[in-house]
Structure 1
Amino acid sequence: MTSPSAPTLGVIGLGSMGMGAALSALRNGVPTWGCDPRAEARAAFEQAGGRAVASAAELAPHCDVVLVLVVNAAQTEDVLFGAQGIAPLLKKGAVVVTSATVDPALPPQWEARLAEHGVFLIDGPVSGGAKKAAAGQMTVMASGKPEAFAAAGELLNAFAGKVYRLGDAAGVGSTVKMVNQHLAGVHIATACEAMALGIKAGADPRQLYEVICNSAGMSWMFENRVPHILDGDYTPLSAVNIFVKDLGIVLDAARALKFPLPLAATAHQLYLSTAAMGLGGEDDSAVVKYYAQLAGLELPTAKEAA
């Protein structure tokens, strides 16, 4: 049992990643608060033994470290500095870990604004998906002042499998995450294109998947996403619209650096095309449907998978 003075974690955003992180912390004996506007998410977290609230402002004064796992930069800024923002409500010396994929130029700005309130920032985007989050095995790409890491102590390890300390400046973590999203977005688009090619040419999709997973062409994204295509299940674990956003961040940053990214630009157009078909809310593997419509393919269905 934890003592009343044990360091407390707050998780803002109990989605697939945030819920996994919060539950992992609970399993590791960390007193944990969760915040989400959805009543069903709060109920699920309370059933697991956590304390759940609908308002981030209610959570803030109780937590030593607050993990902000929302969708984008705009939501992050609202959580921190909006009308009900937590910045003035946090304890002096508390640590905020911002984990959305954002423009690397933003975390240094947030760090400076939080410092005005005596609060530290760790620029800590995450990777691993819902499955690794639930297992407490997320990767955190973290950067920030040494004092921030000292104040966070072991709480980062309560919800993550690997915490990489990438430098003493906020923004480095987001730079590394940006590179990860470049690769992830291109790999998913390529996996969809390759599967569509194989189906068009007459290969059995399940045999094709098995062979590629045991051959040099395999990637983690191919192995992870193609089963969604084989099962005809496009329930969004990570939606097409996420990569519309994330590859947009990658391309904007590259444009500022005057650095060409032809592969990322092409992949971005594929996600945009899929979203324009009305599929932006589906799983990112739905890019294969763009190719199916283009080439008149019949994709596997959920009925066939059953």
Structure 2
Amino acid sequence: MANIASGSTVGFVGLGAMGLPMAKNLVARGFSVRGYDLRQSAREALVAEGGRGAASVAEAAREADALVLMVVNATQAEAALFEQGGLEALPQGAAVVLMSTCPPAAVEKLAERVTGAGRRFVDAPVSGGMVGAIAGSLTIMAAAPAATLAAVRPVLDALGSKVVHVGEHPGQGAMVKTVNQLLCGVHIAVAAEALSLAGKVGIDREVMLDVLGGSAASSWMLRDRGPRMIQAQPEVTSAVDIFVKDLGIVLEAGRDTKAALPLAAVAHQMFLATSGRGDGAADDSQVIRAYQALNRQSTTENR
């Protein structure tokens, strides 16, 4: 399999908050990108940047050297490949690059079906959020045979500043991402807990953030999400329901391996509580609303 270099055709499925800027970055690096999304507006946005819109998953995959999937979950990936014609339309020897966060066991099953049909498969979930997707600075956790990864490396390099080969077998990338999401979810939840406590005892939360940001208690998530926790209506860069899903995957991995994950379980409950209050589409920083509800604090300042 030759390297999928600049000028090669890349099909891209899922032009959402992260997928669209990722597809745009591929266009900017000289790839011929044919993108599909249910929303016509998303396809039009890609066309405006020099890409091409596809009317279906199958059209996006046709004659492509690689098909990138940046969909919500494994169910959507399976539907795109096997129900909507993506795999059948993809040429023999081409690569499916799954970049969504999915359960490791589900990724393994998808990979078996894809490779059994004569195509390559790269398990390549990402971290860095919408900011990283826009900047092309994502961290990509790639699992695939070395030769397959080498072939798709130019595509991944266009999307991320750090591409790590975490293993030869699909599912290993998903597992690394699962551990990553455990820490991300717990960090966001505990930052919300700390700021909720500060508000409860009358400490100005901006002052608290200033102190924490320069102390040993700081973290990337605190610095990124903390300011949004005290905004009325922060921009949504990652929704609460994303962490309902991702921490659910973490706990599933814990059950499968009989690993105790008590902090992840509590964090998951806080995101679930926030979603259950009707805030599932809000920015994930708004998990603080569940803490405020528990502590009988007003949540109007965050709305």
Q: Please say whether Structure 1 and Structure 2 have the same fold, judged by a TM-score greater than 0.5.
A: yes
Is 2:121 the counterpart of 1:121?
yes
Q: Distance in 2 between matches of 1:302 and 1:291?
A: 12
Q: Distance in 1 between matches of 2:271 and 2:231?
A: 21
Superposition deviation, residue 298 in structure 1 = 3.5
Alignment of 1:204-283 (within 5 A): 204-283=204-283
Q: Distance in 1 between matches of 2:145 and 2:16?
A: 28
Alignment of 1:183-198 (within 5 A): 183-198=183-198
Aligned to 1:67: 68
Aligned to 2:10: 9
Superposition deviation, residue 31 in structure 1 = 1.6
Greater Cα offset, 72-81 or 229-238: 229-238
Q: Distance in 1 between matches of 2:294 and 2:165?
A: 44
Q: Distance in 1 between matches of 2:254 and 2:57?
A: 34
Alignment of 1:156-171 (within 5 A): 156-171=156-171
Structure 1: which 5+ residue stretches go unaligned?
Answer: none
**Amino acid aligned to 1:140:** I
Conservation of the 8 A alpha-carbon contact between 1:17 and 1:133: yes
Superposition deviation, residue 235 in structure 1 = 4.0
**Taking every aligned residue pair, what percent have the same amino acid on both sides?**
42
Q: Distance in 1 between matches of 2:151 and 2:92?
A: 11
Paired residue secondary structure (2:238): coil
Superposition deviation, residue 209 in structure 1 = 1.0
Superposition deviation, residue 153 in structure 1 = 4.3
Aligned to 1:51: 52
Q: Distance in 2 between matches of 1:152 and 1:158?
A: 10
How many residues matched? 299
Structure 2: which 5+ residue stretches go unaligned?
Answer: 1-5
CA RMSD of aligned residues (A): 1.8
Runs (4+) off by over 3 Å: 298-303
Paired residue secondary structure (1:275): helix
| TM-score computed with the length of structure 1 as normaliser | 0.93
Conservation of the 8 A alpha-carbon contact between 1:10 and 1:63: yes
Aligned to 1:19: 20
Superposition deviation, residue 301 in structure 1 = 3.8
Deviation per residue, 1:188-230 (Å, 9 max, x gap) = 1001111100111111111111211111111111111112122
Q: Distance in 2 between matches of 1:263 and 1:302?
A: 25
Structure 1 30/167 Cα, relative in aligned 2: closer, same or farther at 3 Å?
A: same
Aligned to 1:34: 35
| TM-score computed with the length of structure 2 as normaliser | 0.94
